[in-house]
Chains A and B, each alone.
Chain A
Amino acid sequence: MELPLLHLALVGTPNSGKTSLFNALTGSRQKVANYPGVTVERKEGFFVTPQGRQVSVVDLPGTYSLRGRSPDEEITRDFVLGKASGETVPDLVLCVADSTNLRLTIRLLLELKRTGRPMVLVLNMFDIAARRGITVDVERLAKELGLPVVTSIAVRKGGTADLLKLTDEISAKLAAEAEANSWRALSVAELRATQREADRIIADCVSLPARPDTWTARIDAVVLHPVGGLLVLTLILFVMFQAVFAWAQPAMDVLKSGFDALGELVQATLPDGLLQSFLQNGVISGVGSVIVFLPQIILIFLFILLLEDFGYMARAAFLMDRIMGGAGLHGRAFIPLLSSFACAIPGIMATRVIDNKRDRLTTILIAPLMTCSARIPVYTLIISAFIPAKDVWGFINLQGLVMFGLYAAGIASALAVSFLIKFFMLRDYAPAPFMLELPDYKMPRLKSIVIGIYTRAKMFLVRAGTTIFSMMVLIWFLASFPQPPVGATEPAIDFSLAAMIGKALEPLLAPVGFNWQIAVALIPGMAAREVAVAALGTVYAIEGGKEAAEQIGQVLATKWSLATALSMLAWYIFAPQCASTLAVIRRETGSWTWMAVTFAYMLVLAYAASLLTYNVAVALGAG
């Protein structure tokens, strides 16, 4: 007989390894990192138990209670209580605990018991507990709690075998067990009572050696030092941005010459004509010019992944809390903002951990000002074309320094905007509390880093192959048609639709020093920032005709003034050139207004910044 699907839910305090367990059970690759609040969405996956039972398992955001104080915690509460619309209540709740730190989970578990759902306590991270000399009397704990207890090591192969076996045993006799839900929000006295009860149970069943993680203490002595800690943080960010520029170069050169060779091959083998132009100008000069930046994107992700896995993110939030508070930002905003260096979309999603609505909204509004990885191609292209690659003070690469400056400008303007929001809009603002668990450091796991990078690189390439490619086809078409009349002497592109559109927009952008080619590139650049690079590549390649085997960077160096280049950099610090980010803002704030506000304020800032930059640069003789 085919048994019905068994529904499991993973519930537990933040950072206890729920997602790791989910990945281990289902073979998924959901994001895992060493700080509280990584998962902010509900994710379902499937697996089959050793005895062949079909199981659905849902990974949920971590929470300390079922009160649901922030949007992510509400997701967990609603799912466990069966409030989420169209959802079945889980048949079995797996309460996942960090075995080195049972107090808060056992309290949560005592609260969860009131929901009446059948439950299992999973003592995860049992390897770390064993290493620290923590011993748990599993049988006694199960008896005290009145439910099955099983140990697990989510990140080790076979580390979930016991859990799988138990799932089979339990699923056989489940139906009888479910009880009525008697949960309601706990009073302070009840909370206290559950914590007392939890502490009593732990005292009875767990022996803790007086040996905290000495490594964590040693590292924190430096990393959380009031002054030293901030220096370390600055140094980390500085090295990160320098590295993006300096270390990625060799790999980028290889890719670049690869695309050059490909272009030459196309030119040599295909007859002149539309197909040759499409492949050479549209695909290779366009999409190729974006793919070249893959090494830089991988590097920035590598840095962020390492910091996340190591356990540094929560520390950085601690260091920055009061400093960001001066600008009206909450300490919890730091992690979403730092992830926005990779991409604003997960950054904006991550703001779900911020419980105060205003703090969350401010963070969402400024997250797109953080220099995301899609700006890297634009910045790099212009910097390498216009900024000499010399060293300053002997060891700092000038190009890297400019890059760092652009990141700094993004951060500074984000803080300034947040300050203005606090000052003008939210005057009666009372700072919401900052409370954050600082997890023990963990050695970053090679496998999870590799998977993380692989997923991100794949996303980038898929985007290059879809969004960017389709934009390129459009631009190539606009820039190639209509074809010039026979006997025309001007470059063919002057007769095209692209030139018409660009020239119509030119008067609007002339004050900031943009020519019509840039105007054409900015419009498809709304879909994604990198598209602008590809679009410039295509437009200039078509304009240059067959001789233009040159790299787009070299073309820009001859066609643009320094003032135009700087103005373009200033534009990209602010411009809202990303449709997906705007869509996520709309979804997360639940309002078109905030999306429109973001778009408008960024556009105004971009124009103003470019106007200023261009005119100052021209006045200084860079026109």
Chain B
Amino acid sequence: MKLKGTQILLKILEEENVEIIFGYPGGTVLDIYDCLYHSKLKHILVRHEQGAVHAADGYARATGKVGVCLVTSGPGATNTVTGIATANMDSIPIVVFTGQVPTGLIGNDAFQECDITGITRPCTKHNFLVRNIEELAATIKEAFHIARTGRPGPVLVDLPKNVMAEEIEYDPANIKIRNYEVFHKPAPKKMAQVFEMLFHAKKPLIMTGGGVILGKASLELTQLAQKYQIPVTGTLMGLGSFPGTDQLWQGMLGMHGTYYANMAVSHCDLLIAVGVRFDDRVTGTIETFASNAQIIQIDIDPSSINKNVVVDLPIIGETKATLKDLMKFLADHNYAPVPAQRKAWLAQIAEWKEKVPLTYCQNGKIIKPQYVIQKLHEVTKGDVIITTEVGQNQMWTAQFFSFDKPNTFISSGGLGTMGFGLPAAIGVKCAFPDKQVVDIAGDGSIQMNIQELATAAQYKINVKIVILNNGYLGMVRQWQELFYEKRYSYTDMTYAPDFVKLAEAYGIVGLRATKPEEVEAVLKEGLDMNKPVLMDFTVSREECVYPMVRPGASISEMTLDREITN
């Protein structure tokens, strides 16, 4: 069957079970859009290409499937870069299709030409410029394969206009793609070593990360911890990979980790790190990180091993298969912790927890941001998918909302991209229309992709937005308070739109709470409505996120609190 390039693209998207494309048209993709006009494929017209990528990214994080976007050449393509870099840092599988000028014009500075494969080379897992129609089908297939296999990541496919207009015989059976990935099956010898290390450990701790969620290994990790009563801490990206309401869960570690998680890491004698890359926000000073422990690191990507922290036992393998093998080995060899030892270790952590729990003080007439998050958890009973923006809002969410299931906390961890939460929430809601999806935002971040409110309104994508409105770029202000003697250089955001009116202008509902006693009612009203709703909470302006590990300090040295001033 002879097909045009545009038809081949849509055909393969169907074969790859793509349900939805987030995109924005323009000159070089007009032919593709014309083809879409007749197609059953669902397309969401975003209001900015960055929004398209974050939406595809949110969709991918929530479903574990590949998210897809389509944009035009030149400025359309460059607008995707922040989104692509965001997905790349968190290893999220997306495929971004960009239009390109006709091959004959490439290199001539043609109108809306830009070397997008050159620009995105350092922030994609891989990218392609399709040079002729013969390689089109295989390239698209390969793009999906590369995005979802191994350590996942974003793949960009640049599609010159003339290539897409050409015709060629299309036969799916004839498409050959390269198999690039070597899947490491960890050697049995390694399992024996883990057994040995666990056997001798008196104070083991599991550290779970994004790789557990991406590798769909939450169940195995949870079983391992529960069966052998090993306490668990996690990175930001690992939230939800172990039930947040379980007794063994110690909360997040690192710069804004809990006191007890950071103390546990600093005192454990065996750290089993699964699907983490030991980011500097997590480790604090490398020299003192888990300095009393032997470290086992399980990861699919050899380049993550020994990158920041030198480990005692690296295991390269898929997290799920590796944990399964490990469970089997431990069971076959009748591993069991010494009850008294394990009890003492758990009691020690409980003592730390009692000494310095995660807390805040909701008194007076001003809403505390943490209170809003706790109420949101209460009102939804945790049955919700949360996206966040970046800053204090993100950290308080990580601290005060407990996530019981994987793929329910969706946040830009590695790149820390403000403006991620709203478009990501739109992507999530498209995947799960019946789920409650809430973006927890700061008043700064929400303005970075606010235009996507129009997208939500147009398609009746009923996302909810909770703005913790402190009138500051709060997290930056916190650093200025703590490290720059309160010189608040350009972080005051009081000059902002009236968010309630703005919501209404976009055709969605806007609600506001300014007093603690209004919080619950506003949340309930907003969440119950079958419409996109923006809820603006006027919160305590100079609240800080605690505990905090100062940059350059060990994670056992935390600043716990400051005088409560209001």
A and B found bound together:
no
Q: Interface on A for B, CB 8 Å cutoff?
A: none
Q: Interface on B for A, CB 8 Å cutoff?
A: none
